[in-house]
Structure 1
């Protein structure tokens, strides 16, 4: 029974092997030249030989590298499968299965068949989890989108409003009362004279008693002389 980590390691090795073979064939076509490759395709009966040479050269080279790192596997696998399907139909189908039979080169379809089926498997999602595509997808999942952030902000705002409604209102703090003035002891209060001008009545200060003025109309008494008779 296979486990998921073991399958991922096997998928990496499969992508590595298939990718190296594709890159080698693509580089061989580019090194020989697109024009020379197009003439070879024309001799083999491939339609649109120049366009087919450009397509096969760059798809095999770049597609092989993409298989190794696991980049765009659905698209990469589909393009490589189309490339091998064209090679099978137009070049190798009538040459038999084997590339080499005994000492003679038969140019059979065994290689393009194996590479095409492997490409189809990678296009269908058989590349495993150890790919660049999986790494990019995990980064996107861990990064919150703008809509999620807005929803979280709205939820936190509503929760704060609910907490504010359920929280009891604080009672206003009462200011401390000033200490009461001490009541004076009557025994310790000094007695004030009745005519003290500081003595205050309810209606105001007590006015001092007016002295009776001697009438200016009364005659002044003369001093008596030695005889006792007033002058």
Structure 2
């Protein structure tokens, strides 16, 4: 029973983190690649157009995959890269807490990373790959 609770908790966590990243990604999607690249260039991000495409892909496409539990380790790494980039490029000078602080950005990035590698059995990764892997891992008698 405890495993079921863990799986439900991981699902709820994936949905929550995925929805927050998706909301931010849709803002960038609406601004477009050029608008997002201009914003990134203004804060000193190198190769702002490449970064804009990467960030929009992670936050929009990655979030949809994360919510359903597909390619979660890859998306989790993407969340960590995006979140740590935002922490160091935008929020670090404001400190950990307070207006513009990095506590929530850092928390989302690292929670996404942790859930990416611990997505639970209610994830498509587990449904599509987990059962096969567990059968392969069983010792032959």
Corresponding residue SS for 1:36: helix
C-alpha contact (below 8 Å) 1:45/1:91 kept by paired residues: no
- Post-superposition shift, 1:139? 5.9
Is 1:62 the equivalent of 2:61?
yes
Which structure 1 segments of 5+ residues have no match?
144-231
- 2:131 maps to 1:132: no
Q: Distance in 2 between matches of 1:133 and 1:40?
A: 34
- Are 1:119 and 2:118 counterparts? no
Matched with 2:46 is 47
Task: Give the whole-Å Cα distance in 1 for the aligned partners of 2:92 and 2:131.
Answer: 44
Q: Tell which deviates more after alignment, 86-95 or 6-15.
A: 86-95
Take 1:130 and 1:96, find their aligned partners in 2: how far apart are those partners?
37
Give how far 1:117 is off. 1.0
Shift of 1:7: 0.7
- Normalising by structure 1, we get a TM-score of 0.54
Q: Kindly tell me the number of residue pairs found equivalent between the two proteins.
A: 136
Conservation of the 8 A alpha-carbon contact between 1:46 and 1:91:
no
Question: For residues 1-231 of structure 1, what are the structure 2 equivalents within 5 Å?
Answer: 3-98=2-97, 101=98, 106-123=99-116, 125-138=117-130, 140=132
Instruction: Give 5+ residue unaligned stretches, structure 2.
Output: 136-141
Q: List, as ranges, runs of 4+ consecutive aligned residues in structure 1 with deviation greater than 6 Å.
A: none
Per-residue deviation at 1:140?
3.9
In the aligned structure 2, how far is the partner of 1:110 from the partner of 1:42? 23
Asked if structure 1 preserves the Cα contact closer than 8 Å seen for 2:86 and 2:105, the reply is yes
Are the structure 2 counterparts of residues 11 and 142 from structure 1 closer, same or farther at C-alpha, using a change threshold of 3 Å?
closer
Q: Find the structure with the greater CA-based Rg.
A: 1
How high is the TM-score relative to the length of structure 2?
0.87
Aligned-partner Cα distance in 1 for 2:32–2:25: 11
Residues 139 and 6 of structure 1: is their aligned pair in 2 closer, same or farther, counting only changes over 3 Å?
closer
Instruction: For CA contacts below 8 A with separation 6 or more, give which structure has more relative contact order.
Output: 2
Q: Aligned pair in 2 of structure 1 residues 24, 89: CA closer, same or farther (>3 Å)?
A: same
User: Superposition RMSD on alpha carbons, in Å?
Assistant: 2.1
